[in-house]
Chain A
């Protein structure tokens, strides 16, 4: 009577047993990788905005302090998105015909409000407070990256819990002196 299994069947069974042990691990690894991937964290994502606002131009090139627009950042949990009136302090005089700024002018004229797409999104259960971080010397760029180089604003950090803890376990090296303005000095006018 002929053998039912050829000798190579041993190898197949060994490989299968190995796969049985490794595949779940690989699955877990894959899942962990996917969760941390840019696809899911949104890191480096650049959402489309109603107005292609350039932080690079307004901060690094023109030299406007972050707090000129994000007025609440030192006192509130939220940094604050500027009202249309803030845009129009300059743009009622500058680039008054620019097609790009049409939604801003329309908002100012009609009272219809602009609708920006959030760049940095936190889950609903996170009660993040900007003001205490700024007060303790975390610069805007520590979390938001070099917005002075961003033509279009993108998410700099993965904003995962692990990323928060990376800093909270040892915040010292990432803190700047509290006297320092949040915008790097070379960008600010003296």
Chain B
């Protein structure tokens, strides 16, 4: 009787019970409807609300509008009123919502790794603040209220010192001056090392201005760079040379403009476009302190339309001390307590900082994640995500704007203001009161009205940066010495994870590098000639040695990289960035400006979305010089599309596209696109609906081509589908019916543009990469878009949910859908206004005007697919102006 397992009777009983449960369980139990107790102001159930706020990047603000569905922030849009957004976003802004719901965020205060309460932490903070010689370390402070708090703190505790730790400087901020070009009066730009279109807090504003000048007046540009940057990829001519040679270029250019010899070559060509533009219409932009004096002289000579602004982090009467000073103080044992607010110097500065920090008896860290620095501290307190916090932020151009919370704090975190208030004294302060108090003092009686207006608009009216009288009369700083025989090393912030502070964000880890299309990792960029000389191929593991530090990472051969120079990206090799960011790529922050390189003989396999940038003579990305005339449409067996009132089409201007990837992340956020991780990426299973292809152009530079679904009128995916899951709708959309799809993948095989993505696994939920199937992330989903299951094909829908919403709105009012009423996610994110979308059936629509452009072409037109998504060719200069 005591045999293990079940008796026959028991087995039968269980079996019948299971069958009964199966029958009864056909209908899942209903999840209850939970109405509000009081309807929140302005809320209509099922309709999103939009709130203006500001997101920080490297300390500076970019204005955004955040879409909130019943209290859940789901999508970040640009704020047209904010000068650092002008309606567009960047990858970091788009990914902020994932950062908010990141399941690996720090959730509770810790002491020695054990959870404690905020009360104990506040007590500890109050005690350390009073100690003589205590040090406060913050990032660049862009908040007026926080600057005021720090001033109060330093006044109350004269023994305290404040240090600023910064890892990323905005483009065009050189030697404490923010250079701000006026694109409305620029016809020619020469950049020497500077990357105004590159990732950073100024990217959107500068890209908006650049592309407007290019579109309206054909802005000419030459770039001198050590390796491909987004700016040099956009330039008409580029020349790559070692970073140590860049200051020399500035000198040569100055000599040329002062009436030097009429030599030929890139410098002469650059001088020619500057001269051709005329005085007050051209500028030279640089970022090397070694050349800043020379560049200032050139700009004075050109009467360049640039303003010199006070940087966003400088406040009157407040001067943060630099970090090397803190290192020296700590090593000397003169720092009794260290408070680190929102910074991660142990990762950024490496072991040297960690060793110096070990000399400090009391170490307290505050940040959104329990990072490397938190691990080296006794205390850690979680900070609010910017979408949970009250604050104000100054943009790179000086405009101030308020930050308002979109959601109550998800975890037991506090605002940075509250942490400083704990240091200031026993009376607790809430972030809202501190912020409002600061502005109330400034606005006086008008505070209520101005506060509401500022919250509504997302900018504070009448704020702008102080314009400095002129460029500081600086001599060129000494150029760094370069050892012979080694490689020069350029370190750039990663275009995907910046300085590593976004390493825990899976969307950003899966955002490709613009030039190598590498995801989930970093690489050393080598010039083709250097790679050939050393016998190194793509993916070979190499070791860089510099200043006694080493780094081991895969090499990628990048055409356009200067000979004798290696480019590496910061932000990788984090060890405490949660399951997403830890151990991705290699940390290079410890390396100096020169390095020796050694091939290890072993291989790594970088995960790349595109490894071959060669067009193989197919003219996939033509320029105005190589654009083939459009022939007659080839014969076809397809039925002709019906003519309706609506026919959607898209035109992408490859002359405007700067390759910043904002469209990719915007699409990912709008359309609930999951990440797949590095292994699945290597198998070619990435899920991005929008991709940006990079191709080598004839002049040796890179060109970008964003590729969403083409929505072919003669779609090759449709006739091969055995279940009619891939069909056309009456408005010309090639739609995918998920519920019909049985996953044959015939459509994917037959798509010449390779825009279809297949769910090999349940990437969105149960088989998600690492922790991305976490319950918390359900709140992030766009409720208007289906979350696709395993075994289903998906692709770009032209944001059909937005089309459908606009169509319903129009029908309710008995009017046609208006021009500009439907804006796709990629289009609204684009800081270069490269994407036009609209109704082809309306002859006056912007998309029809774009199609009438002589630069218009269709991708792989000879296939006769009649794509609805078409392109405008990149403009190339007509003649030689170097002569």
Contact = CB atoms under 8 A, between A and B. Distances in A.
Interface string B13-26: 00000000000001
Interface stretch (A1-9, A22-30, A80-88, A94-102): A80-88
A83 B37 contact: yes
Interface string A72-108: 1001111011111110000000000000000000011
B38 A116 contact: no
B32 A118 contact: yes
A167 interface: no
Interface residues of B, number: 25
B27 interface: yes
Chain A contact patch, size range: 35 or more
A84 B33 contact: no
B35 interface: yes
Interface stretch (B43-51, B118-126, B473-481): B43-51
B808 A129 contact: yes
A132 B811 contact: yes
A115 interface: yes
B47 A75 contact: yes
Nearest to A131: B812
Contacts of A136: 811
Nearest to A114: B35
A81 B36 CA distance: 8
A85 B786 CA distance: 33
A162 interface: no
Contact of A117 (B32, B784, B786): B32
A4 B456 CA distance: 94
B37 A127 contact: no
Interface string B28-42: 001111111111000
Contacts of A129: 808
Contacts of A115: 32-34
A131 B808 contact: yes
Nearest to B801: A127
A89 to B, nearest CB: 12
B828 to A, nearest CB: 21
Interface of A: 40, 42, 47, 71-72, 75-78, 80-86, 107-108, 111-118, 121, 124-125, 127, 129, 131-132, 135-136
Contacts of B784: 127
Given A132-B812, A135-B812, A80 B44 contact: yes
Contact of A107 (B37, B44, B45, B804): B37
Interface string B758-791: 0000000000000000000000000010100000
A127 B804 contact: yes
Which of A47, A77, A124 counts the most B-chain CB atoms under 10 A from its CB?
A77
Contacts of B46: 72, 76-78, 80
Contact of A84 (B32, B37, B804, B808): B37
A80 B35 CA distance: 8
Nearest to A113: B34
Nearest to B31: A118
Contacts of A84: 35-38
Contacts of B38: 83-85
A83 B739 CA distance: 35
Given A125-B739, A131-B808, A72 B47 contact: yes
Contacts of A131: 808, 812
Given A81-B33, A113-B35, 19 more contacts: A40-B26, A76-B45, A76-B47, A77-B47, A81-B45, A83-B35, A83-B38, A84-B38, A85-B39, A86-B39, A108-B37, A111-B37, A112-B37, A113-B36, A115-B32, A115-B33, A117-B30, A118-B32, A125-B738
Nearest to B814: A135
Contacts of B47: 72, 75-77
A33 B287 CA distance: 74
A138 B409 CA distance: 42
Interface of B is mostly: loop
Contacts of A75: 44, 47
B863 to A, nearest CB: 32
Interface in B347-364: none
Interface in B732-746: 738-739
A47 B27 CA distance: 13
Contact of B45 (A78, A121, A124): A78
Given A76-B44, A83-B38, A84-B38, A135 B811 contact: yes
Nearest to B785: A127
A190 B46 CA distance: 32
Contacts of A78: 45-46
Interface string B794-824: 0000000100100010011000000000000
Q: Which A-B residue pairs are the 5 nearest by beta carbons? A: A78-B46, A76-B46, A115-B32, A83-B36, A81-B35
B39 A118 contact: no
B781 to A, nearest CB: 11
Contacts of B33: 81, 115-118
A72 B804 CA distance: 18
Which of B30, B45, B804 counts the most A-chain CB atoms under 10 A from its CB?
B45
Nearest to B33: A116
A40 B27 contact: yes
Contacts of B786: 124-125
Contacts of A117: 30, 32-33
Interface string B74-87: 00000000000000
A177 B492 CA distance: 66
A83 to B, nearest CB: 4
A72 B40 CA distance: 13
Contacts of B30: 47, 117-118, 121
Contacts of A83: 35-39
A115 B36 CA distance: 10
A55 to B, nearest CB: 15
Contact of A80 (B34, B37, B45, B801): B45
B779 to A, nearest CB: 16
7 contacts: A72-B44, A83-B37, A107-B37, A113-B36, A116-B35, A127-B804, A132-B812
A184 to B, nearest CB: 23
Nearest to B35: A81
A98 B738 CA distance: 49
A121 B47 CA distance: 19
A135 B33 CA distance: 25
Interface string B598-612: 000000000000000
A165 to B, nearest CB: 15
A122 B31 CA distance: 12
A109 to B, nearest CB: 10
B802 to A, nearest CB: 12
Contacts of A108: 37
A81 to B, nearest CB: 4
A18 B44 CA distance: 60
Nearest to B32: A115
A112 B32 CA distance: 14
B31 to A, nearest CB: 8
B843 to A, nearest CB: 28
Contacts of B738: 125
A115 B32 CA distance: 5
Nearest to B28: A121
Contacts of A125: 738-739, 786
Contacts of B36: 83-85, 113
